[in-house]
Structure formats: C-alpha cells, structure tokens
Amino acid sequence: MTPAARLAAAAELLAAIGAAATPAEQHIGSYFRSRRYAGSKDRRWITEFVYRALRRQGELDAVSLAVGLEVSPRNLCLLSLILFEDVAVDALDTGWFGGAHGLDDLTAEEAAALAKAAEIDLASLPPAARGNFPDWLAQKLLDQYGTRAAEIMAAYGERAPVTLRVNALKGSRSDIRYFLANEGIDVTPTTLSPDGLILDARLNLSRHPLLENGRIELQDEAAQVASRLAGAEPGMTVVDYCAGGGGKSLAMAAGMAHTGKIHAFDTEERRMRDIAGRARRAGVSLIEPLVIHGDDRDAELIAPLVGAADRVFVDAPCSGSGTWRRQPDMKWKLTEERLAELTALQADILERASVLVAPGGRLTYATCSILAAENEDRIRAFLLSHPAFTLIPVSTIWEAVGLDGRWDSDFFALTPADYGTDGFFTAVLERAEG
C-alpha cells in the first residue's frame, strides 16, 4: 500500500470505530480480514497509527478546535502526521494524498490550519486534553486521586504489557521461564503475583505450544492477584458468578488440587464457549459452566447453591476503565448515564451473588475499573445494607494466599501508574457464622 492508501485506511477505521459501541480491536480485525491485499507492514503501520490517534485523541481534538478544524477522522489523521510524525505541512502533498485509494487533496484552508497546529505546544493544553481523557472523567479522577490524577492519565498513553499466568498444575514459573529463554523469549517475573511472567518484547503467543498445552494462560497480573485473594482451597465449593471466558476460574482451580467444584456462571453463552476447551488444556476437571439469566428466572437453577458456597467470586461488569490502554477508544464512549447503569447493575449482582455465600464463607468483589463509583462506593453501600458481611482487609490475607511482597490497604486497588498492570479493584468480604 502507498502512504496515501495507508492514511486513508486509518481515516476509514477511525470513522468506523467512532460510530460504533464495540471496541476498536474488533473493527481493525474485521477490516483486515476483508482486505487480504494489505501486507504485514501495512497492517502494522495502520494499526499503530490508529491506536496512537485513539490514545491521544484528547490532544488531537483540542488542537483541532484551537485552529478551527472540524474534529473528524480525516483531520485526526492529518494532525497525527504533523504533531506526532514530524511531517512538515508543505510535505503533505508529496505522497500522502491522491491515487485511487487516497484521501481528497489538502485544501488551502486545511493547510493554513495545520500550519498553526504545528506551532502549538501540547504541554500548554488544558489538563484533560493533555491527559487524553474526556472532561467529565478527568474531573472524576482529579476528585478521586488529587495530585496523582495527571500521572494516572499519562499512564494510559503507554501500551499494556503482555502478561502470562503459569499454570501451577503443570509446572513452575522458573520452568516456564527457562523454557522460553531457550527459545530466545525474554520474560520478567511479575512483582505481586507468584504466577506471572511479563514478555520483554511484544510477541504473538496465540499458537505457542505452552499455551496450547495449557501450561500458560494470557492474564494480566492484577487479575492473577484478585484470583488468589479469593482464597479458593482444595475441596471447596466455589462460584465464579461472572465467569466470562473462565480465566479466573482457571486461576482459582490451579490452587484447588483437583478437588472441589467451581460453578462458572455468566449470562452470555458466547463468552463461555471456550471454558471447556481451556479447562481440558489446563488439566482442570472441576469447572462446571452454566449460563444464567441474571434475574429471578435463575431461582430454581441456583437454589442448591444458596448459602452453600465457600467462596463466591464476582468479577462484575464495569466501565473497563482499568483496561483502556488496550481499548483507548472506550474511554470516549463511556457516558455518565452508562456509568450510572453499570453501578446499578453491580449492586444488583452483588445482591444476587451474596445469597450463595455459606456462613463463614467469603464474597470477593472485583472490577477492572479505577473509578470509586464502581469500587469502594459499591462495597460501602453493600456493607451498610448487609450487616451479616464484614470487610476482610486485604493486608491481613496477602501472605496467606501466597502473594509476593506486602500490601497495606483494606482494598486491592491499582491503576496502570502503580505496577504497570491493568487498573483493578478487589474487596474481600466474609459472612458471619450462623
């Protein structure tokens, strides 16, 4: 593809991503599947260009408005060339336009606006624009994190690492690290999880024998920590209430020594489709997937588990704000109305999941969010209306569940600015005996 065709493809993708509620990765994958003529270098350039524009959309939007340009996919692409690739305005006409698949030629008005844009100091933009967050979300972060807000927003400009969880049922972390080193794949052990390895360079391991044989899984370190905090032990009855693809069920199963049962619930059958295959690869036979409705229609289905589960793990549907390094477009699609819907759903799920906890059992609540409205606020509201439950400070169980280092807080709460993990939150509650 020519540079002009690549730029036009990026603009087309940005338009499709902006018009849909689904994540960018779905559109990018579909786009290239239907355009087999695009070579690997073309795909890489276009993908990286699009993701950078999404990560830095706040800056691009602010500069567009400052110089009188419409905020559009075309202009986001042109500004990206000027601001991030150091392409001179008078050089745009050489190779970046024209041809059968290129954008329309640059107008005199656009050229003049782009020349002004090239002179703007990005450090002078308002804090929300510099942080590349919508104004209302930037204000929430400022209210919640104070002086750390700028650092946290800046962390979202980095790419998330590729992190592996070693399946303890099939080997040790040192074994897997040695195996990968022999293939020339360098990894770094995770800081908090004793099961994690971070790839030093980005590689596609989707067909690697270690993954296909169930010796490793792709899982962020924060999710590994949350799975351990659930405290699932051999012989226990465990409910993974929002199991999705089963990653946390598999992580909990690794510590249960093939005894006990994990009931993996979810309302979306499509998301659960891979659990059985992943469990077979991992050598796990105690996970039982079950599609539920998430409402009163489940009463008969889950009746045998009411008050009978030693551990209930709720990885609640959320904004996904902790994962926005991977899905930078989603922070621009979240609205205050949608956030309110999510917090109401989280409260309902907590209510429904809590009845399954046995006396003396534990309820673990987790989200991949950094927003207090979905995290601390939800737990405090739940505890106020459920006196049978008490908070177990994470600091008091950290070593007991085998985690590395130490933790000094009641909740396990991370942002990408802390340990380089996804943003994540976990709280552990215990139901009173009797």
Q: How far is CA 375 from CA 71, 99, 226, 364, 382, in A?
A: 34, 51, 14, 12, 11
pLDDT tens profile 203-226:
888 889 999 999 999 999 999 999
What is the reported pLDDT for 332? 94
For 329, list phi and psi in degrees, rounded to 5.
-70, -25
What is the reported pLDDT for 365? 98
Dist CA 343 CA 120 (whole Å): 39
pLDDT tens profile 146-197:
999 999 999 999 999 999 999 999 999 999 999 999 999 999 999 999 999 9
What is the reported pLDDT for 131? 96
What is the reported pLDDT for 90? 87
Mean pLDDT throughout 9-25?
Answer: 91
Q: Assign 101 a pLDDT band (cuts: 50, 70, 90).
A: confident
The closest alpha carbon to 370, from 157, 143, 57, 187, belongs to 143
The closest alpha carbon to 229, from 432, 433, 411, belongs to 411
Mean pLDDT throughout 362-381?
Answer: 98
Whether residue 50 is predicted with pLDDT greater than 80 in this model: the reply is yes
Cβ contacts of 360 within 8 Å, gap of 6 or more: 430, 431, 432, 433
